[in-house]
């Protein structure tokens, strides 16, 4: 489902934009592909595009009103009312000024009273006061509504992102969309609302002023109405270009952000310094930035200068009106008050003409961003609970079966898993081994239902995983991933997040830490379990890689889940800690089905069953002894590692 507004050409360019810049930004050209190549040149396609964009803009309006209403109905009504009032004020002001001038002229000529002048002056004061109040009210209500809207949209984006599948985050195109939706888009409905309100206000001013003009000369009204058209067209053209440019820039900006983070982030500092990458990366950043700026500058200057040139046509019409009225007053066909009224009207029409087209083109531009937001919000997670989800068995026994499971990552040619079948009995401890890229982590992602298999099925206690509610299923799995998270929080928070309900259960947290072999280390920290970890804090403690890994392990142990998954749980641990963990693994995994990935064969041999993956296929399966006696790949890999150790020992 698409958000509707953006013309098809824009969508095509959007797709092209995200796929065309394949470079990492670390090397290669720094130019930005031309965003305006596909610009329609003939009148017909321009008109079609104009029609599409106008209808898209108008269609976008109800969505923005909907967003405003959701954010705050009271504020929305207040903003609408005050907008109407402040739209009428300029016309009212001009009319009262006319009456006052006429009264003054009448008094000068001897057939008017000063009382009338005082009355009108009081009325004028009233109108000014009302204008000031309505302006203040509009500003306040609009500002508050904008704040509420931004918050509510950011909340929606965050909420939606939290529900999306892992594939959304692992795919660069959709990840770009998420970034745009979370960074750029929350402001856009607000600017669209501002543009729309400006449009309504100026339309009211414009309309009421035109009514006054029509009462004098319909021709003047036509001139006033026709003047804004060229300026409007030019504005909408540049608005679309600006949007397209931002889209094309998005990958470039991402690369610039990346270069920036390489130089400014602590984790990269060691390497960038040692390899002397600093000046090189800074220079790449500068060149990308220069290119980016040059393109932006060209567009901004053109947009403003060409836009102004077109708007001069409107100015010309306004001045024409003023001249005509002045000549009419000299000829005695109009009063001095009329002259004042029409001068004010001409000025107001001119400003509102500009307001109208900038409002309209602003809406057009913002609407394109809004489409991105709505496209993002319309992305549905594919891994969802079935209409009638099967309740998980109580208790889950942890019987896992892979039946001819195949899987390819979206867009990938090769299969990451190819026709894999095996069984893990309840409570069994299984090790998964294989060379890099063999598909071990993928197997775990499928088991946690972060992806669904593209072929075959996975059963837990005899039921296809897809029949369960994925959240329910995940709550029965405890896992530590290879790229575990180091939360910028206290030690207790870092561990407690493994089981939200027990975030405050200190005894359980300490127990989990103990089981992961990090309890005594945390107790020795200045503030024990309340010590902040990580560098975001002034007094944050910097832990070593292995210590962080133990904390992540403790987080996994927070759950009393029937299935325990550990992806290279000891990759950062020292030999003693590793030995200690595996010596206790039997106790730690007591009563749970445990699946762990390891590259260290010394730890693998303890497993009750070993699965060897080779390029996505299950190549060997059995106990250590069985696989050794088979003399296959496992045996040769084991011997290779053992030999290396023995050589060192010798
Ligand atoms: N998000 C992804 N999108 C596309 N392809 C992926 C993705 N993640 C992994 N792959 C590919 O799938 C294959 C299996 O990857 P996987 O991470 O499962 O390997 P692994 O056995 O865990 O490797 P390692 O021992 O290096 O951790 C690899 O060829 C990898 O390139």
Q: Work out whether strand 593-597 and strand 609-614 pair parallel, antiparallel, or are unpaired.
A: unpaired
483 lines ligand 1 (CB under 6 A): no
Q: Which ranges of 379-469 would DSSP assign to H, the alpha helix? A: 440-447
Give me ligand 1 centre to Cα 640, in Å: 24
Q: What is the pLDDT of residues 472-510, one digit of tens each?
A: 999 999 999 988 888 888 999 999 999 988 889 999 999
Same fold, 56-216+334-378 and 400-647: no
**Mutate-to-test residue for ligand 1 from 412, 601, 612, highest number of ligand atoms within 8 A of CB:** 412
CATH class of 400-647: alpha beta
**Mutate-to-test residue for ligand 1 from 440, 480, 615, highest number of ligand atoms within 8 A of CB:** 440
- Which strand ranges, in their side-by-side order, compose the sheet holding 400-407? 417-424, 400-407, 455-460, 463-464
Report the C-alpha gap between 527 and 489 in whole angstroms: 13
At 225, the pLDDT band (50, 70, 90 cuts) reads: low
Spatial neighbors of 96 by CB under 8 A, at least 6 apart, are: 120, 123, 124, 127
At 451, the pLDDT band (50, 70, 90 cuts) reads: very high
Query: Would the pLDDT of 9 be above 50?
Result: no
- Per-residue model confidence (pLDDT) at position 536: 72
Task: Return the ligand 1 atom nearest residue 616 CA.
Answer: 14
Task: Return the ligand 1 atom nearest residue 613 CA.
Answer: 21
Cβ of 93: how many Cβ atoms within 10 Å? 17
295 lines ligand 1 (CB under 6 A): no
Give me ligand 1 centre to Cα 28, in Å: 26
More confident residue, 53 or 521: 521
More confident residue, 369 or 551: 551
Q: Work out whether strand 455-460 and strand 400-407 pair parallel, antiparallel, or are unpaired.
A: antiparallel
Q: What is the pLDDT of residues 150-201, one digit of tens each?
A: 888 889 889 999 999 998 888 877 887 887 787 777 777 877 887 788 878 8
217 lines ligand 1 (CB under 6 A): no
If we measure between CA atoms, which residue out of 42, 48, 44, 63 comes closest to residue 9?
A: 48
Cβ(599)–Cβ(433) below 8 Å: yes
Quick one: what percent of the chain has pLDDT higher than 70? 84
- Assigned token pair, 95: 């009319």
- Per-residue model confidence (pLDDT) at position 20: 43
Report the C-alpha gap between 392 and 406 in whole angstroms: 24
Identify the three-state secondary structure at position 544.
coil
Which residue's C-alpha comes closest to atom 24 of ligand 1? 436
Cβ of 479: how many Cβ atoms within 10 Å? 22
Mean pLDDT of 114-119: 89
Q: Is CATH 1.20.1560.10 the classification given to domain 56-216+334-378?
A: yes
- Per-residue model confidence (pLDDT) at position 565: 93
**Mutate-to-test residue for ligand 1 from 438, 569, 597, highest number of ligand atoms within 8 A of CB:** 438
- Assigned token pair, 50: 């104009």
Task: Return the ligand 1 atom nearest residue 568 CA.
Answer: 27
Which residue's C-alpha comes closest to atom 7 of ligand 1? 409
Report the C-alpha gap between 573 and 567 in whole angstroms: 13
Task: Return the ligand 1 atom nearest residue 435 CA.
Answer: 25
- Per-residue model confidence (pLDDT) at position 129: 93
Q: What is the pLDDT of residues 262-318, one digit of tens each?
A: 888 877 888 888 888 999 999 999 998 888 888 888 878 887 887 778 778 767 776
Indicate the domain borders of the chain: 56-216+334-378, 217-328, 400-647
Q: What is the pLDDT of residues 606-646, one digit of tens each?
A: 899 999 999 999 999 999 999 999 999 999 988 888 887 66
Cβ of 547: how many Cβ atoms within 10 Å? 20
175 lines ligand 1 (CB under 6 A): no
At 2, the pLDDT band (50, 70, 90 cuts) reads: very low
Q: What is the pLDDT of residues 11-60, one digit of tens each?
A: 444 444 444 444 567 777 777 555 444 555 566 766 676 676 667 677 77
Which residue's C-alpha comes closest to atom 29 of ligand 1? 437
Give me ligand 1 centre to Cα 442, in Å: 6
Mean pLDDT of 510-522: 92
Q: What is the pLDDT of residues 570-606, one digit of tens each?
A: 888 888 888 888 877 777 788 899 999 998 888 888 8
Cβ(358)–Cβ(386) below 8 Å: no
**Mutate-to-test residue for ligand 1 from 174, 435, 441, 597, highest number of ligand atoms within 8 A of CB:** 441
Q: For the ranges 132-146, 201-215, 403-417, 487-501, which has the lowest average pLDDT?
A: 201-215
Cβ(74)–Cβ(196) below 8 Å: no
- Per-residue model confidence (pLDDT) at position 6: 42
Most confident of 216-220, 226-230, 439-443: 439-443
If we measure between CA atoms, which residue out of 287, 329, 477 comes closest to residue 396?
A: 477
Give me ligand 1 centre to Cα 443, in Å: 10
Report the C-alpha gap between 470 and 466 in whole angstroms: 8
Query: Would the pLDDT of 465 be above 50?
Result: yes
- Per-residue model confidence (pLDDT) at position 429: 93
If we measure between CA atoms, which residue out of 38, 376, 371 comes closest to residue 176?
A: 376
Report the C-alpha gap between 444 and 569 in whole angstroms: 13
- Per-residue model confidence (pLDDT) at position 227: 63
- Per-residue model confidence (pLDDT) at position 46: 61
Cβ of 43: how many Cβ atoms within 10 Å? 8
Give me ligand 1 centre to Cα 418, in Å: 13
Cβ(417)–Cβ(442) below 8 Å: yes
Which residue's C-alpha comes closest to atom 26 of ligand 1? 436
Task: Return the ligand 1 atom nearest residue 445 CA.
Answer: 18
Report the C-alpha gap between 542 and 548 in whole angstroms: 9
At 433, the pLDDT band (50, 70, 90 cuts) reads: very high
At 95, the pLDDT band (50, 70, 90 cuts) reads: confident
650 lines ligand 1 (CB under 6 A): no
pTM of the predicted model over 0.80: no
């Amino acid at each position: 489902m698409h958000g509707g507004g953006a013309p098809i050409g824009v969508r095509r360019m959007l797709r092209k934009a995200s796929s065309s810049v394949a470079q990492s930004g670390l090397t290669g050209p720094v130019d930005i592909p031309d965003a305006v190549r596909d610009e329609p040149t003939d009148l017909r396609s321009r008109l079609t595009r104009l029609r599409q964009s106008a209808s898209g803009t108008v269609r976008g309006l109800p969505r923005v009103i909907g967003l405003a209403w959701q954010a705050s109905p009271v504020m929305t009504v207040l903003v609408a009312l005050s907008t109407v009032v402040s739209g009428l004020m300029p016309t009212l002001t001009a009319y009262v000024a006319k009456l006052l001038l006429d009264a003054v002229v009448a008094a000068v000529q001897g057939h008017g009273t000063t009382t009338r002048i005082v009355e009108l002056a009081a009325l004028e004061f009233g109108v000014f006061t009302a204008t000031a109040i309505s302006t203040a009210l509009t500003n306040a209500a609009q500002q508050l509504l904008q704040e509420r809207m931004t918050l509510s949209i950011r909340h929606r984006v965050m909420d939606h992102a939290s529900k999306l599948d892992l594939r959304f985050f692992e795919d660069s195109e959709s990840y770009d969309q998420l970034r745009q939706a979370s960074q750029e888009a929350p402001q856009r409905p607000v600017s669209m609302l501002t543009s729309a309100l400006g449009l309504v206000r100026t339309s009211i001013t414009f309309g009421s002023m035109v009514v006054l003009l029509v009462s004098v000369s319909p021709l003047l009204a036509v001139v006033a109405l026709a003047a804004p058209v060229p300026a409007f067209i030019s504005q909408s053209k540049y608005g679309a270009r600006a949007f397209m440019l931002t889209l094309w820039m998005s990958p470039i900006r991402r690369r610039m952000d990346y270069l920036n983070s390489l130089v400014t982030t602590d984790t990269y500092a060691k390497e960038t310094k040692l390899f002397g990458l600093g000046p090189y990366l800074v220079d790449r950043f500068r060149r990308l930035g220069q290119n980016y700026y040059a393109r932006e500058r060209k567009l901004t200057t053109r947009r403003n200068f060409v836009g102004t040139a077109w708007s001069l046509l409107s100015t010309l019409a306004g001045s024409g009106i003023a001249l005509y009225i002045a000549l009419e007053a000299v000829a005695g066909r109009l009063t001095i008050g009329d002259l004042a009224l029409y001068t004010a009207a001409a000025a107001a029409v001119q400003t509102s003409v500009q307001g109208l087209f900038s409002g309209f083109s602003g809406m057009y531009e913002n609407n394109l961003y809004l489409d991105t937001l709505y496209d993002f919000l319309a992305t549905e997670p594919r891994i969802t609970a079935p209409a009638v989800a099967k309740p998980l068995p109580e208790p889950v026994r942890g019987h896992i079966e892979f039946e001819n499971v195949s899987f390819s990552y979206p867009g990938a040619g090769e299969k990451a898993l190819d026709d894999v079948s095996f069984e893990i009995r309840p409570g069994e401890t299984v090790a998964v081994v294989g060379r890099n890229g063999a598909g071990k982590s993928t197997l775990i992602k499928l088991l946690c239902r972060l992806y669904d298999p593209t072929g075959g099925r996975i059963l837990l206690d005899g039921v296809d995983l897809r029949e369960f509610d994925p959240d329910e299923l995940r709550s029965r799995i405890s896992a530590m991933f290879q790229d575990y998270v180091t939360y910028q929080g206290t030690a207790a928070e870092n561990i407690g997040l493994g089981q939200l309900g027990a975030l405050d259960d200190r005894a359980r947290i300490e127990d989990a830490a103990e089981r992961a072999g990090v309890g005594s280390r945390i107790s020795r920290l200045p503030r024990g379990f309340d010590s902040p970890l990580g560098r975001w804090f002034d007094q944050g403690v910097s832990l070593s890689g292995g210590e962080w890994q133990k904390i992540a392990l403790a987080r996994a142990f927070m759950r009393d889940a029937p299935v325990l998954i550990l992806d290279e749980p000891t990759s950062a641990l020292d030999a003693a800690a590793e030995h200690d963990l595996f010596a206790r693994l039997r106790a730690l995994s007591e009563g749970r089905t445990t699946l762990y990935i390891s590259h260290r064969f010394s730890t693998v041999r303890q497993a009750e069953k070993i699965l060897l993956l080779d390029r996505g296929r299950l190549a060997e399966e059995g106990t250590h002894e069985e696989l050794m006696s088979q003399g296959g790949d496992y045996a040769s890999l084991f011997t290779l590692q053992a030999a290396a150790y023995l050589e060192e020992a010798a």
